[in-house]
Amino acid sequence: MEASGRTYRGDNVHKVLSFKEDKEMPKPRAVDRDYVNSGYHRVHLCSSADNCWDATAQKQSFLFTKICSQDHKLNPKPPWALFI
């Protein structure tokens, strides 16, 4: 991976990945419908951009076990949008 300023480059930048349940976890486990109309966002614990060095790491960053819930009111814009 090559870092250039605040931009990370790699061969495995996600295009359209959606969050998935982690089938290795015992039930009950988080699923997409837990977030629908809940007022909460799915937030990566480790930025997806930090995983573009490896396709497996990129896919795993979209498992529900690799995210946390965040109230929409706490972060309505992406962090970079605060500076424009």
Confidence (pLDDT) at 44: 84
0.75 exceeded by pTM: no
22/67 Cα distance (integer angstroms): 11
Given phi > 0 = left and psi -120 to 50 = alpha, else beta, which region is 79? alpha
Q: List, for residues 1-25, the tens digit of each pLDDT value.
A: 444 444 445 555 555 568 899 999 9
52/10 Cα distance (integer angstroms): 5
Confidence (pLDDT) at 61: 86
